Amino acid sequence: MSKHVILLGAPGVGKGTLGQQVVKRAGLAYVSTGDMLRAEVAAKTELGNKIASILAAGELVSDDLVNELIKKAISKPEAQKGFMIDGYPRTLYQAKSLEAMPQGKIDVVFNIELPAEEIVRRISSRRSCPKCKAVYNLIYSPPNKEGICDRCGAQLVTRADDNPDTIRNRIAVYEKNTKPLVEYYEKKGLLVRIDSSGNDNEPKIRDMLAIIGK
């Protein structure tokens, strides 16, 4: 039986890492709104061109456009065995729009949680290579030589949006926007909270697989 899963979590909680491992082992399609937006723009489809012009104008992609992308993604053959959506829904309107789609019945919503200050510590420890785009973390995956990219030898930098104050603001905005969603799915009995603390992801992955019956 196919499983339809949603992955929620603030930036830096490690939801992408957990999600990728779970879908790989469970045989689910991984549906990422960010990946889909970039793919549509790169493919220069009619929808992609529309998205590109919106982004070029510095505007946000509308709920209806994102809904259209999701509907397209979960209707693909590879999603018929089940899927996990990362980065959607972001609003109650999107959540209700998803439920109205032919393939939109959701079985479980994982809310990946981590204390705010731990998120700040993780993200502010990121270092990026401006040349080859490699990303390191001083806590979990530091470069072999401090401040230098292993791949190309360039000087590593801290991205402007990886400073603690910016991160705290992003967390506050995320929590404000997502709180109604968390409450919505909790009332439906679909929400499962996953504590993302600690470096060992294996127990968390096993728990998530057990919950979705894989």
Q: How far is CA 58 from the centre of its chain?
A: 21
Q: Strands, E, within 64-146: which ranges?
A: 82-86, 108-113, 126-128, 135-137
Say how many CA atoms lie within 13 Å of 10 toward its Cβ.
Answer: 25
126 is catalytic: yes
127 is catalytic: no
The counts of H helices and E strands in the chain are 8, 7
Of 15, 122, 127, 204, the active-site residue reads 15
Catalytic site residue 170? Answer: yes
Return the SS3 of 128. strand
Question: Which among 24, 38, 96, 159 is annotated as catalytic?
Answer: 159
**Which residue among the candidates 3, 122, 126, 127 is catalytic per the annotation?**
126
Contact 27, 16 (CB under 8 A): no
Check 71, 72, 90, 131 and give the catalytic one.
Answer: 90
Q: Which of these is catalytic: 72, 131, 170, 214?
A: 170
The residues annotated with a catalytic role in the active site are 15, 90, 126, 159, 170
